[in-house]
Amino acid sequence: MTAKLIKGTEIREEILKEIEQEVKDIKAKHGKVPGLVTILVGSNPASVSYVTLKIQTAERLGFHEIQDNQPETISEADLLALIEKYNRDESINGILVQLPLPKHIDEKKVINAIDPDKDVDGFHPVNVGRLMIGGSELKFPPCTPAGIQEMIMRAGIETKGAEVVVVGRSNIVGKPIANLMLQKGPGANSTVTIAHTATRDLASHCKRADILIVAAGVPGLVKPEWIKPGACVIDVGVNRVGEKKSEKTGKMVAILRGDVDFDAAKEIAGFITPVPGGVGPMTITMLMKNTLKSLKFKLGIA
Ligand code: GUN
């Protein structure tokens, strides 16, 4: 069997078109567009490229976008004051502080300073609580887990009663995707197991999974014989395993590998996400969706 590929690049385009249309409709009816501020501290190359992509996507969708670059040396107090300014700014619906932050700044304090109703990353403890409660309490699911759920739904995979095994317990992916899949409702209602570094016999857990979500950050961790034939495999791992010369530009580029042995796994799974081009493109897409949602909550039309 050769698995059907779930391509994030294609699903992203579908969702962005839907958002673009909704932005136009809301603008015509309410005279408002979603406002997103991206705060970047310093010039970490990976952060700069993520933030650039976020701005480009927001602009394409017709959002009001503010790019607020701050020097590496900004004090914690000044950063907190900046966040407070955007908390009060009526034109801003989403505040994103690009992580990681320099060592002299306490990330927790910064996340806690963002108004939970503008926390489109879904990292604030209030939003973590809302996710745990679920249903109408849920406002901003974290972007990567929200993207994973969207991919599973759009691939037409049955989640109700399905055995979902999540490998990895991070606050950004493992814990929130487990919570999302556990909720009642469409695209969820699953029986969820979270496996992690202390799990005994990881293989036996993976073998039970109808939907296997791997976010461990270990290249090739999941072996093909751990996959149940026909299962849906979502590989969240993006591991740099080396460098190669790009055929297009001649420049050195990273060789990326997922947490799943893709070539062998695709012969057993029913559905699988590639790396790159799988889960990756969904994160920024869902950030845009959360920012639109934030405006809709404010307008009372969500
Ligand atoms: N750094 C890497 N990924 C993310 C993300 O999703 N949100 C924020 N704020 N920073 C990040």
Pocket of ligand 1 (CB under 6 A): 96-99, 121, 143, 283
Atom of ligand 1 at shortest range from CA of 99: 10
Average pLDDT of the residues in 85-109? 98
Residue nearest to atom 11 of ligand 1 (CA): 99
Q: In angstroms, what is the span from residue 72 Cα to ligand 1's centroid?
A: 17
Query: For a pocket test of ligand 1, which of 37, 99, 101, 114 has the largest count of ligand atoms closer than 8 A to its C-beta?
Result: 99
Percent of the chain past pLDDT 90, that is, above it, reads: 99
CA 16 vs CA 3, 23, 283: distances in Å: 26, 10, 12
d(CA 210, CA 190): 10
Q: Confidence class of residue 1 from pLDDT cuts 50, 70 and 90?
A: low
* Residue 71: predicted pLDDT: 98
The closest alpha carbon to 154, from 1, 265, 4, belongs to 4
Positive/negative CA dihedral, 65, 93, 68, 251: negative
Query: For a pocket test of ligand 1, which of 96, 170, 285 has the largest count of ligand atoms closer than 8 A to its C-beta?
Result: 96
Over the stretch 117-145, which tens digit does the pLDDT of each residue have?
A: 999 999 999 999 999 999 999 999 999 99
pLDDT at 44 over 70: yes
* Residue 269: predicted pLDDT: 98
Please provide residue 288's backbone torsions phi and psi, each rounded to the nearest 5 degrees.
-65, -40
Average pLDDT of the residues in 97-105? 98
Residue nearest to atom 1 of ligand 1 (CA): 99
Atom of ligand 1 at shortest range from CA of 100: 1
* Residue 169: predicted pLDDT: 98
Tokens 């997103």 found at: 36
Tokens 């950063």 found at: 79
- Residues labelled catalytic: 54, 98, 121
Query: For a pocket test of ligand 1, which of 118, 119, 121 has the largest count of ligand atoms closer than 8 A to its C-beta?
Result: 121
Average pLDDT of the residues in 36-51? 96
Atom of ligand 1 at shortest range from CA of 142: 6
* Residue 137: predicted pLDDT: 97
Q: In angstroms, what is the span from residue 226 Cα to ligand 1's centroid?
A: 30
Rounded to the nearest integer, the mean pLDDT of the chain is 97
Could you give the 3-state DSSP secondary structure of residue 38? strand
Q: In angstroms, what is the span from residue 98 Cα to ligand 1's centroid?
A: 5
Positive/negative CA dihedral, 105, 108, 109, 111: positive
- Sequence letter at residue 118: K
* Residue 8: predicted pLDDT: 98
Query: For a pocket test of ligand 1, which of 51, 98, 123, 171 has the largest count of ligand atoms closer than 8 A to its C-beta?
Result: 98
Over the stretch 186-237, which tens digit does the pLDDT of each residue have?
A: 999 999 999 999 999 999 999 999 999 999 999 999 999 999 999 999 999 9
* Residue 41: predicted pLDDT: 98
Paired tokens of 268: 């057993």
d(CA 68, CA 120): 16
Atom of ligand 1 at shortest range from CA of 143: 6
Q: In angstroms, what is the span from residue 99 Cα to ligand 1's centroid?
A: 5
Burial class of residue 86 (count of CB atoms within 10 Å of its CB; 0-12, 13-18, 19+): buried
Average pLDDT of the residues in 254-271? 96
Residue nearest to atom 3 of ligand 1 (CA): 99
* Residue 56: predicted pLDDT: 97
Q: In angstroms, what is the span from residue 207 Cα to ligand 1's centroid?
A: 31
Residue nearest to atom 8 of ligand 1 (CA): 98
Atom of ligand 1 at shortest range from CA of 172: 6
* Residue 135: predicted pLDDT: 96
d(CA 67, CA 36): 9
Distance of CA 264 to the CA centre of its chain: 26
pLDDT at 173 over 80: yes
